[in-house]
């Protein structure tokens, strides 16, 4: 039997805190049993004014003592080998004792913020989840309640041997469920037994059957999920229109070549090698086409392709440019490098300002899509965690 499940690897509350803060009526075995220790966060007796005074005293204190030894922590003592932890906010070092943290929890710290950084709102300490075995203070492995397979087996062995923890009714329910199927018994625990309300939510996303706190969490996730999906659809639309723009650019260049150089073949085909001393090199038009007012919803390139008047206006301007290049290069300065004061129509090889603009736009959209997709996957994981924790809470209560 396995005891695999998915839940957050980290928790905001200290291992010393009461598990009831996580909406549990009784402690789960995967939580550290409640101890009468102080939390790492500022105690209720420490008001904001008191913390402000302590912080001022702390920041104004000397960094070295009279023996020129560097001092640390709120106690301003040198490092004499006592266990310390670095704050992820201010990067100062603090003694476990001075921060009211039990040293046995040292391997469970994911992120630590001193009381001053918590007071200033910089961050809150996060703790790795503790192994379910009560005597172990190592962090759990991914998708498990235990730090190792050995501790998982040891915990289950302790549960099975402790007859007071396993009632006759539970044993009867298990035997009734598996019957004479030995393979079914061995597979118990391989798959998490989802609640009916959870399975139904995956189908219709109706929240009526959940308690208010779970409803609120799922509704918040659903809203964020919808917003992210809309953003992803917008970026995908931009990407498809950018690809369409590239095809339109190719088409436009070919049409301009046919117009300006009608005597040469415009299609790409295999040709015989030119005779020695001769040249078979074709003239081509490959313009920049960077749109300084680029909007993916209203591409000027697309308008030119689909509007005869715009195409005629552009082609006349391009034709004048190429005729000038053939006749008198000095007059080229008089012809504008943009069409409608918006579209760059310089030769792509002679336009370093917009070099690689299409690739840059493509990379930017792709990067944005990747970021949004990652955030969407994270939301899915958070939703699964909420559902799984609710199921665990129901089973344990």
pLDDT score of 365 more than 60: yes
What are residue 111's DSSP bridge partners? Answer: 126
Q: Helix axis angle, 357-396 relative to 196-204, nearest 10°?
A: 150
pLDDT of residue 296: 61
pLDDT score of 326 more than 70: no
pLDDT of residue 30: 35
**Class at the top of the CATH hierarchy for domain 10-161:** alpha beta
Compute the average pLDDT of residues 221-226. Answer: 93
pLDDT score of 222 more than 80: yes
CA pair distance 307, 220, nearest whole angstrom: 46
CA pair distance 165, 83, nearest whole angstrom: 38
- Higher pLDDT pick, 320 / 397: 320
**Minimal CA–CA distance to 254: which of 241, 263, 265, 243?**
265
* Res. 191 pLDDT band, cuts 50 70 90: confident
pLDDT of residue 372: 94
Which range (121-135, 262-276, 325-339, 368-382) has the least confidence? 262-276
- Higher pLDDT pick, 159 / 269: 159
Element (H, E) at 110: strand 109-111
pLDDT of residue 334: 61
Domains of the chain, residue spans: 10-161, 196-265+283-397
pLDDT of residue 10: 58
* Res. 369 pLDDT band, cuts 50 70 90: very high
For residue range 246-277, list pLDDT tens digits in order: 999 999 999 999 888 887 754 444 455 555 55
Compute the average pLDDT of residues 204-231. Answer: 91
- Per DSSP, the three-state class of 109 is strand
Half-sphere CA count of 181, side-chain side, radius 13 A: 11
Strand-pair category, 126-128 with 10-11: antiparallel
pLDDT of residue 14: 60
pLDDT score of 32 more than 50: no
CA pair distance 368, 359, nearest whole angstrom: 14
Inter-residue contact 130 to 15 (CB < 8 Å): yes
Strand-pair category, 10-11 with 71-72: unpaired
pLDDT score of 18 more than 80: no
Task: Name every residue whose Cβ is closer than 8 Å to that of residue 58 and which is 6 or more positions away in sequence.
Answer: 74, 116
pLDDT score of 225 more than 90: yes
CB atoms within 10 A of CB 166: 13
Element (H, E) at 176: helix 168-178
- Per DSSP, the three-state class of 340 is coil
Q: What percent of the chain has pLDDT over 90?
A: 37
Q: Dihedral, CA atoms, 104, 110, 114, 118, nearest 10 degrees?
A: -130
Q: What's the pTM value of the predicted model, to 2 decimals?
A: 0.54
pLDDT of residue 206: 87
For residue range 98-148, list pLDDT tens digits in order: 998 999 999 999 999 999 999 988 988 999 989 989 899 999 987 788 899
* Res. 221 pLDDT band, cuts 50 70 90: very high
- Higher pLDDT pick, 57 / 30: 57
CB atoms within 10 A of CB 389: 20
Q: What is the mean pLDDT of the chain?
A: 80
């Amino acid at each position: 039997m396995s005891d695999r499940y998915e839940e957050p690897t980290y928790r905001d509350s200290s291992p010393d805190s009461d598990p009831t803060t996580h909406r549990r009526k009784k402690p789960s075995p995967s939580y550290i049993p409640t101890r009468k220790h102080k939390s790492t966060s500022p105690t209720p007796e420490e008001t904001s004014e008191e913390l402000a005074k302590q912080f001022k005293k702390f920041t104004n204190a000397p960094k070295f003592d009279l023996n020129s030894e560097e001092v640390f922590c709120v106690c301003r003592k040198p490092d004499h080998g006592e266990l310390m932890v670095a704050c992820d906010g201010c990067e100062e070092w603090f003694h476990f004792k001075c921060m009211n943290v039990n040293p046995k929890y040292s391997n469970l710290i994911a992120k630590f913020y001193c009381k001053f950084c918590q007071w200033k709102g910089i961050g809150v300490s996060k703790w790795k989840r503790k192994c379910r075995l009560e005597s172990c203070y190592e962090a759990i492995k991914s998708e498990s309640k235990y730090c190792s397979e050995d501790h998982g087996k040891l915990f289950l062995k302790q549960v099975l041997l402790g007859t007071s923890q396993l009632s006759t009714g539970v044993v009867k329910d298990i035997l009734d469920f598996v019957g004479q199927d030995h393979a079914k018994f061995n597979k118990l625990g391989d798959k998490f037994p989802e609640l009916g309300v959870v399975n139904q939510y995956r189908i219709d996303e109706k929240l009526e059957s959940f308690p208010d706190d779970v409803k609120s969490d799922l509704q918040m996730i659903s809203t964020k999920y919808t917003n992210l999906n809309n953003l992803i659809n917008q970026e995908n639309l931009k990407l498809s229109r950018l690809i369409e723009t590239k095809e339109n650019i190719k088409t436009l260049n070919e049409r301009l070549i046919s117009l300006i150089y009608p005597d040469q073949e415009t299609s790409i085909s295999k040709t015989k090698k030119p005779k020695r001393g001769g040249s078979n090199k074709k003239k081509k038009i490959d313009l920049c086409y960077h749109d300084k007012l680029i909007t993916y919803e209203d591409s000027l390139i697309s308008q030119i392709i689909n509007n005869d008047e715009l195409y005629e206006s552009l082609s006349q301007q391009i034709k004048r440019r190429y005729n000038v290049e053939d006749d008198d290069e000095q007059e080229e300065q008089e012809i504008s490098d943009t069409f409608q004061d918006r579209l760059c129509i310089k030769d792509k090889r002679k336009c370093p300002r917009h070099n690689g603009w299409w690739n840059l736009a493509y990379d930017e959209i792709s990067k944005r899509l990747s970021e949004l997709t990652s955030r969407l996957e994270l939301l899915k994981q958070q939703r699964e965690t909420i559902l799984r924790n609710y199921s665990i809470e129901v089973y344990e209560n």
